[in-house]
Amino acid sequence: MFSQEQINKFKNTPTPFYYYDIDLLKRTLIEIKKAAPKEYSIHYALKANSNPKLLQIIKEAGFGADCVSGNEVKRAIEIGFQSNHIVFAGVGKSDVEINYALNNNIFCFNVESTAELIVIDELAKTQNKIAKVALRINPNVDAHTHKYITTGLEENKFGINPYEFDTVIDLIKKLSHIQLIGLHFHIGSQIGTLTPFKNLCLRVNEINNWFIEKGYLLPHINVGGGLGINYHEPDKESIVDFESFFNVFKQFLELKPSQSVHFELGRAFIGQCGSLISRVLYIKNGINTNFAILDAGMTDLIRPALYQAYHKIENISNTASQTIKYDVVGPICESSDCFGKAVSLSETKRGDLIAIRSAGAYGEVMSSSYNLRDITKSVFSVD
């Protein structure tokens, strides 16, 4: 929901652009802090949105950083996240990336394979360092989300499978420059109910106990991210129910007193704070359908084209209650460049401003210059 003042500001701004509601971001951060028990360590997943201005606010609120590339680690350090609050996951970390993270003494590598353990050990040895690692485990828990953003099933490329545990333990005993400090899990993204998180807890308990029986009482248990947001009704649920989310872990995760819990949330931090604002270039009446052709396309927001993601679309120039159905599309030379089919909008004409809501996560970070388009700009509610 936008105020008239905001809409007037948009009218004088070249489109398309991401608009970030800083007040909502700050309120969201406060809610996370309120809902999470003091002893929980919460890391923000930069992959959701690494815009420096937003990162600055998240850092100032006292959160850690979860990174999935060397450049994300670099961005986190540049912004001022403390290196001992930076974790680094990713199924294919390059030597350059590992060396950079080692050089900067990050808190922990979330390691995804035995091959990677060996490489990290070698590189740490060269730097005369001990690398702290957590094993990213594939728990085979169904996140019940889109198949492109589910990560914790046997068929997915992520993590170490339970049948490899004995081999991993034997290997770790031989590696002199690795210190095993934890277990890491991340089952997927945009998880819309709490049941997968409960199932994750139950599985973590089993796996944690297995390691304890083998003599490894590991101090850090990282349960990843994945908490979904309400794309259908962003104004009704602009801040996720973090209390219920953390309650699941309080209730079902059985940890030893010396063990601490870590989270890596991305979308739930930032998703509702951002909207993609664009203008209608043309209305084109097809045989069966009316097209509203925007100046924003899949190069600005790829989620609908990439995984058929739904975003609420609003004509904010005309809010009359009578609506017409439009296929809302972009200007890119690809048929998949479509934000929504048969979208009900108030009668729409050239020049109207269109808001594509809940675009704060996995929006700007995935923008590209395909078709030699300009990289999407960002505008903030407070400068």
As beta bridge partners, residue 294 has 280
Q: How far is the CB of 278 from ligand PLP (least distance, A)?
A: 24
Which of residues 13 and 41 has its CB atom nearest to ligand PLP in the complex?
41
Q: How far is the CB of 65 from ligand PLP (least distance, A)?
A: 11
Which of residues 108 and 227 has its CB atom nearest to ligand PLP in the complex?
227
Which of residues 178 and 268 has its CB atom nearest to ligand PLP in the complex?
268
Q: How far is the CB of 211 from ligand PLP (least distance, A)?
A: 20
Q: How far is the CB of 270 from ligand PLP (least distance, A)?
A: 8
Q: Which residues bind ligand PLP (CB under 6 A)?
A: 45, 47-48, 66, 68, 89, 186, 189, 224-227, 264-268, 361
Which of residues 186 and 357 has its CB atom nearest to ligand PLP in the complex?
186
Report the alpha-carbon distance of residue 78 to residue 10 in Å, rounded.
31
SS3 of the chain: CCCHHHHHHHHCCCCCEEEECHHHHHHHHHHHHHHCCCCCEEEEEHHHCCCHHHHHHHHHCCCEEEECCHHHHHHHHHHCCCHHHEEECCCCCCHHHHHHHHHCCCCEEEECCHHHHHHHHHHHHHCCCCEEEEEEECCCCCCCCCHHHECCCCCCCCCECHHHHHHHHHHHHHCCCEEEEEEECCCECCECCCHHHHHHHHHHHHHHHHHHHCCCCCCEEECCCCECCCCCCCCCCCCCCHHHHHHHHHHHCCCCCCCEEEEEECHHHHHHHEEEEEEEEEEEECCCCEEEEECCCCCCCCHHHHHCCCCCEEECCCCCCCEEEEEEECCCCCCCCEEEEEEEEECCCCCCEEEECCCCCCCHHHCCCHHHCCCCEEEECCC
Q: How far is the CB of 295 from ligand PLP (least distance, A)?
A: 28
Which of residues 227 and 328 has its CB atom nearest to ligand PLP in the complex?
227
Which of residues 89 and 356 has its CB atom nearest to ligand PLP in the complex?
89
Q: How far is CA 349 from CA 295, 323, 327, 357, in A?
A: 13, 13, 13, 20
Q: Give the pairing of strands 353-356 and 274-285.
A: antiparallel
Tokens in use for 246? 């953390």
Which of residues 188 and 297 has its CB atom nearest to ligand PLP in the complex?
188
Q: How far is the CB of 91 from ligand PLP (least distance, A)?
A: 9
Report the alpha-carbon distance of residue 377 to residue 314 in Å, rounded.
20
Which of residues 354 and 361 has its CB atom nearest to ligand PLP in the complex?
361
Report the alpha-carbon distance of residue 62 to residue 55 in Å, rounded.
11
Cβ atoms < 10 Å from Cβ of 5: 8
Which of residues 2 and 231 has its CB atom nearest to ligand PLP in the complex?
231
Which of residues 224 and 340 has its CB atom nearest to ligand PLP in the complex?
224
Q: How far is the CB of 263 from ligand PLP (least distance, A)?
A: 9
Q: How far is the CB of 87 from ligand PLP (least distance, A)?
A: 9
Q: How far is the CB of 361 from ligand PLP (least distance, A)?
A: 6
Q: How far is the CB of 302 from ligand PLP (least distance, A)?
A: 15
